Amino acid sequence: MSAPAEFLNAYNGIGAKKASMPIYRMIILGILAGVLIGMGAVVSTTGSFAVANPGLQKVVAGLLFPFGLIMVVFTGAELFTGNCLISIPVMDRKVSVGGMLRNWGPVYVGNFIGSLLLAAACAYFGQIGLADGALAAAAMKTALAKCSLSFGKALVFGIGCNFLVCLAVSCAIMAKSAPGKALGAYLPVAFFVMAGFEHSVANMYYIPVGLFAKTVPAYAAAAADAGLNLAALTWGNFLLHNLLPVTLGNIIGGVCYAAILYYGHRVKNEG
């Protein structure tokens, strides 16, 4: 692996390239990242929904979910949460704040589009119909729980999540082999899922798939059979009670991680 100081120097170039990328490319690669992170969510939900023990269910989901970030790293997709590391070249005055925001906005939109497309496909074309709709009920239960978080809890869980995601991205970049990059991306992401932290782009899949499932009569009936009250599962609660605070938390967590790394390892000639 490269040393942290070497990573900081390398990321100045990476961040500058991301900030100057054509907007259409940011959106396209953002859509790809949204689909890939959503795929990780699809697999983790499918593999863990029937596990009765809550702790073991988190472990199983955590072991499966990191596929998404590993594929983002390998394909060069643009992920909003990982791109919080662009704050490194901003701190080093290689990229302007405007340049960073120019990347974040289109990438965030692309991530949202990709996640929504995948969520709609899974809800309306039968992927969540497994076990007579039990998977759909589990998806709606997850979405409902996320929509019911307090603003403060969602914010703090977002901070914890993206501290680990940015750690994963930096470790993947520092690694010098494909297996090393995969392992670097894998472990921190697995840990944030097991801890129950909140990832804005993952939630762009987790909550909409529940919202879409709610509109399918057979799935709504499965939710009722499971004793779920879906009144709080709304687009408004998704956007205001989850996505907004989680996104803010992700920004804080990612920038804090970047600042710790930058001020702890930067190499400068001082006098």
* Cα 37 from Cα 150, distance rounded (Å): 24
Would you call 105 exposed, middle or buried from its count of C-beta atoms within 10 A (0-12, 13-18, 19+)? middle
Cα distance from N-terminal residue to C-terminal residue, the chain? 30
* Cα 196 from Cα 238, distance rounded (Å): 17
**pLDDT (0 to 100) of residue 267:** 77
**pLDDT (0 to 100) of residue 64:** 97
3 state DSSP class of 22: coil
Work out the mean pLDDT of the chain and round it to a whole number: 97
**pLDDT (0 to 100) of residue 7:** 96
Mind listing the pLDDT tens digit for each residue in 14-69? 999 999 999 999 999 999 999 999 999 999 999 999 999 999 999 999 999 999 99
Q: What is the DSSP letter of 125?
A: S
Q: 270 falls in which pLDDT band (50, 70, 90)?
A: very low
As a whole number, mean pLDDT of residues 252-261 equals: 98
Q: What is the DSSP letter of 216?
A: S
Q: Which residues contact 52 (CB under 8 A, 6 or more apart)?
A: none
What is the DSSP annotation of 132-196? Answer: HHHHHHHHHHHHHHHHT--HHHHHHHHHHHHHHHHHHHHHHHH--SHHHHHHHHHHHHHHHHHHT
Residue 98's φ and ψ, nearest 5 degrees, are -60, -40
**pLDDT (0 to 100) of residue 245:** 98
Q: Residue 158 pLDDT > 50, yes or no?
A: yes
Residue 126's φ and ψ, nearest 5 degrees, are 95, -5
Q: Residue 73 pLDDT > 70, yes or no?
A: yes
**pLDDT (0 to 100) of residue 162:** 98
As a whole number, mean pLDDT of residues 225-249 equals: 97
Q: Residue 271 pLDDT > 60, yes or no?
A: no
Q: The tokens of 149 are what?
A: 């978080």
Mind listing the pLDDT tens digit for each residue in 78-89? 999 999 999 999
Can you give the pTM of this predicted structure? 0.96
As a whole number, mean pLDDT of residues 92-116 equals: 98
Q: What b-and-e string marks burial along 188-224, b requiring 16 or more CB atoms within 10 Å of the CB?
A: bbbbbbbeebbbbbbbbbbbbbbbbbbebeebbebbe
Residue pointed to by tokens 């990059």: 181
**pLDDT (0 to 100) of residue 195:** 97
Mind listing the pLDDT tens digit for each residue in 172-206? 999 999 999 999 999 999 999 999 999 999 999 99
